[in-house]
Structure 1
Amino acid sequence: MALTTTTPLALILLTLIPFLTPQIQAQAPAPAPSGPINITTIFEKAGQYNFLIRLLNETQQLTQIQTQLNSTSEGFTIFAPTDNAFQNLPSEAINDLSDQQKVQLILYHVTPKYYSLSDFLTVSNPVRTQASGKEGNWGLHFTSQGNQVNVSTGVVTVPINNALRQQFPLAVYQLDKVLLPSELFGAKSPSSSPAPKSSKTPSKTPSSSDVERDAPSPASSKKDDSAAGRNVGFGFVAGLGLICMGVLL
């Protein structure tokens, strides 16, 4: 009897489940929409990016990039040097830069487009960055060997090994070196280097005083000429006198 009583009830419940399920789902709360991406949070969570965060804030580029990121349809890619990467630079490398040059250095680590690691395998060089100067936009060059991707500036070449974030609209890649643009850190022109010093001692050019000292003075020349004239005259008179004495004898 118990089995007979339970079976119709179970059948009724099974019949009502398809009708009750949509109502239960409709009453369930919808997932909250994801908020704007916070770049600082990404760096703080990963650690070892204190210097980069400070430089982003000092140049006021963190706010600029954050604002553009939340409104772009192309996305952004950020290359993030670690604290060790900055510490390995000479101290004057950053300190000697002007405020504008520091802005350019930061923007050189940002591309106005989202790139996954696989995109770098087939990308067309140079890849445009947010940095630019009088000569135009500053670009990056990417090369690959197998699945290993390297980024080059013309001054340094850095492998890309770790992705801190790789989800549109933002990709963030860790770098063990700072990307030094050739426009700021390239080799100086040879014309700017000082001319080499000659090891030979130049020969002394005789001065006008030396020439005047060695040359005979006009007075001494006239004196010599008059003495010679007197000697000739005396010899002539002596010879004439001897001839006359011979005639007389």
Structure 2
Amino acid sequence: MASLSLSAILLAITSPLLLFFSHCQAAQSSTAPGPSSTPVNLTGILDKGGQFTEFIRLLATTQAEDQIENQINTSTEGMTVFAPTDNAFNNLKSGALNGLSDQEQVQLVLYHILPKFYSLASLQTVSNPVRTQATGQDGVWGLNFTSQGTQVNVSTGVVETQLNNALRQEFPLAVYEVDKVLLPEELYGTKAPAPAAPSPKRSTSNSSSSTTTKSHSEGPSASEQSNGGGKVTSVLWGGGVGLALICVGFLS
């Protein structure tokens, strides 16, 4: 009887504690979602959409595909992808894509990805600019979002387009179709012209030296020639007068 009473007392004490800890664990799991138990395949989602062949090719050639899918399935923040259609790539100017280096193509792909899950509703109130996966040591590569009603627009500073069809909008991945390739200012912005080279300074000493040399090479100036001629005329005149006086004295 005593042991039965002790068991009942222990049960009465521990039951509320167990219930309390179970509630805490449930609340914690609901506020901080963990990685998805079912692997998410970004390429499969894009392939099912049927008009993202060029974007899928870029994901593969830049080797960003495996990195992105691994992060999607291990991150507690999720990811958001903006997928340009094939028409969006076809509308690019000639050389806009092929003119990029391998590293720049990787940056272009990562610029279409946010390292966090965003629903369309959350993008309407987000603080701009929103960092993309292309952000690194060289600065923030961000996107700006504006909304009108339920319509959300995304801007890079070079292009602006609407977020159209949501191919997927379930944590941990949101994928939105866009009709334009999101061209970052860091790669496609107008570059400032290079400063003009300073004109060479003329040396004052050289100028003076050249002027002096030129004066000597050109001979005496006109005034010097005039003074010299006057001196010669005076000498001849004086000599003539003296000779005339000598002759007069001899005759007398």
- Fold shared by both chains (TM-score > 0.5): yes
How far off its partner does 1:35 sit?
4.4
Alignment of 1:117 with 2:120, yes or no, is yes
1:243–1:130 CA distance, 2 compared to 1 (3 A): same
Corresponding residue of 1:107: 110
> Which residue identity lines up with residue 82 of structure 1 in the other structure?
T
Change (3 A) 1:51 1:194: farther
Give RMSD over aligned pairs.
3.2
- Give yes or no for the alignment of 1:186 onto 2:208: no
Q: Offset of 1:180 from its aligned partner?
A: 1.1
| Contact 1:105/1:180 (8 A) holds in 2 | yes
Matched, 1:151 2:175: no
2:101 corresponds in structure 1 to: 98
Determine helix, strand or coil for the equivalent of 1:151: strand
**Secondary structure of 2:169's aligned partner:** strand
TM-score by length of 2: 0.69
Residues 237 and 127 of structure 1: is their aligned pair in 2 closer, same or farther, counting only changes over 3 Å?
closer
CA distance in 2, matches of 1:54, 1:175: 17
Aligned match of 1:238 = 240
TM-superposed CA distance for 1:90, in Å, is 2.1
Written as runs of structure 1 = structure 2, the 5 A alignment for 1:122-201 is 122-190=125-193, 192=194
2:31 aligned partner: none
1:7-57 deviation line (CA, Å, top 9, x unaligned): xxxxxxxxxxxxxxxxxxxxxxxxxxx842221221121112111000000
Distance (Å, rounded) in 2 between the aligned partners of 1:234 and 1:77: 110
User: 1:79 maps to what in 2?
Assistant: 82
Q: Take 1:235 and 1:193, find their aligned partners in 2: how far apart are those partners?
A: 71
Structure 1 outlier segments of 4+, above 6 Å: none
Deviation at 1:85, TM superposition (A): 1.0
Counterpart position of 2:51: 48
> CA, structure 1 residues 97+233, in 2 after alignment: closer, same or farther (shift >3 Å)?
same
Deviation readout 1:112-140 (Å, 9 max, x if unpaired): 11111111111111212111233333221
The DSSP-based 3-state class of the residue aligned with 1:73 is coil
Gaps of 5+ in 1: 1-33, 196-204
Q: Deviations over 1:70-111 (max 9, x none)?
A: 122221110000111112112322212221211111111111
**Structure 1 length-normalised TM:** 0.69
Between structure 1 and structure 2, the one with the greater Rg is 1
**Which whole-Å CA distance do the structure 1 matches of 2:71 and 2:230 have between them?**
106
The one-letter code matched in structure 1 to 2:94 is S
Is the CA contact (8 Å cut-off) linking 1:75 and 1:114 kept in structure 2?
yes
1:130 and 1:137 in contact (8 A); partners too: no
Shift of 1:149: 0.8
Q: Does the 8 A contact of 1:155 with 1:181 survive in 2?
A: yes
Is the Cα contact below 8 Å between 1:150 and 1:158 reproduced in 2? yes
- Please, which moves more after superposition, 53-62 or 34-43? 34-43
Percent of residue pairs identical: 52
For 1:164, give the aligned amino acid: L
Question: Aligned pair in 2 of structure 1 residues 176, 212: CA closer, same or farther (>3 Å)?
Answer: same
The residue correspondences of 1:5-20 to structure 2 (distance < 5 A) are none
> Which of 58, 62, 65 is residue 59 of structure 1 equivalent to?
62
